Amino acid sequence: MSKVVRFYEVGGPEVLKFEDVEEKQPGPDEVLINVKAIGLNRAEIMFREGKYLDHARSFPSRIGYEASGLVEAAGSNSVFKPGDKVSTVPAFQMDKYGVYGEWAIVPARAVVKHPENLSFEEATSIWMQYLTAYGALVEFGQLQSGQSLVITAASSSVGYAAIQLAKLIGAKSIATTRTSAKKQMLLDAGADHVIVTAEESLEEKVKSYTDGRGADMIFDPVAGPMLLDLAKCAAFHGKIFEYGALSLQKTSYPLFEALKKGLTVRGYTLFEITSDDELFARGKKWVYDLLASGVLKPVLDKTFELKDIAEAHKYMESNNQNGKIVVVNR
């Protein structure tokens, strides 16, 4: 028997149960992983609450997208072998293949050997954030050197990934954060400018940092009423990528701003990348090579033990994190 995390009803962190279950064996297209570390994502908070794009189809449900560890067993159609150091890519249903636990079975397609220069804690902190940022900024957005990028909720792991990618491309990054507590950390991470939205006008600051043009691209996981403010910040023919709905408030389409500026406003998730074999292969190689060379490096925040998974969720809900929250299996 081994420990996994499951939940029997939607709700707060207290619904997460750390319990013994019998370890299973992988199918032909699956891999069994001895989990060493887990990376938390906002998607899992919303999944636990029943507010995510996906939902638990039956209970008890497993949960979790990102884990790193050692292959324990691999199906006959897999290229992996026992002992391989791997990490998981969010490319599966959480209720069926969730990775919170001492072990996880996931589709072989969602398993990647991670670069040797990464620790298990770092390796569980890469695919959600870097592929999400890569898909919007590189694959679909085609962000160019010299352009300007507004990154909202910039102290999240995806926000830090976007800052690193913008710097790599040669674009100007304008990060936003609600209070000044994280401003210096974002600047230290490479953001060219940081706007403290509780104290400063988003539109005025973006215009001042872009010589009055507005932002060429906006990368936002919040949506809600703020979308209109973001549209006002956008340049003529600007692109707005909405990759989340953290606001949970009604999101109205900014019609008049879109008409005046010819804006592109589109929804986006990394599943656009992971569901397409060609895009997926290209994205994995792009991210892997930059991680292996040390050009990209995940920003880690606080570490919890697996038995304290509910506390880790509470910490994420506090919005005090600065980078990736990691849970380790000791």
- What pLDDT, in 10s, does the model give residues 306-323? 999 999 999 999 988 999
The alpha carbon of 199 is separated from its chain's Cα centroid by a whole number of angstroms, namely: 27
Q: What angle do CA 313, 90, 119 make, to 5 degrees?
A: 75
330 — pLDDT class (breaks 50, 70, 90): confident
Helix 127-134 and helix 277-292: axis angle, to 10°?
110
Cα–Cα distance for residue pair 211/126, rounded to 1 Å:
34
- Torsions phi, psi of 292, nearest 5? -65, -35
Backbone angles phi, psi at 143, to 5 degrees: -60, 135
Encode 84-94: b = buried (16+ Cβ within 10 Å), e = exposed. Answer: bbbbbbbbbeb
Spatial distance between the Cα atoms of 204 and 306, rounded to a whole number of angstroms: 44
Supply the pLDDT for residue 105.
97
pLDDT (average), residues 165-177: 98
Q: Which residue has the tokens 């940092």?
A: 209
Q: What is the mean pLDDT of the chain?
A: 96
**pLDDT score recorded for residue 23:** 86
Confidence bin at 53 (pLDDT 50/70/90): confident
At 248 the pLDDT is 83
Rounded to an integer, what distance in angstroms lies between the CA atom of residue 184 and that of residue 207?
21
Please write the tens of the pLDDT for every residue from 246-281.
Answer: 888 999 999 999 999 999 999 999 999 999 999 999
pLDDT at 1 over 80: no
Name the helix (H) or strand (E) containing 302.
strand 300-305
Place of tokens 């589709």: 107
Which residue, among 72, 76, 97, 98, has the nearest Cα to 85 in the 3D structure? 72
Domains of the chain: 2-126+299-328 (3.90.180.10), 129-271 (3.40.50.720)
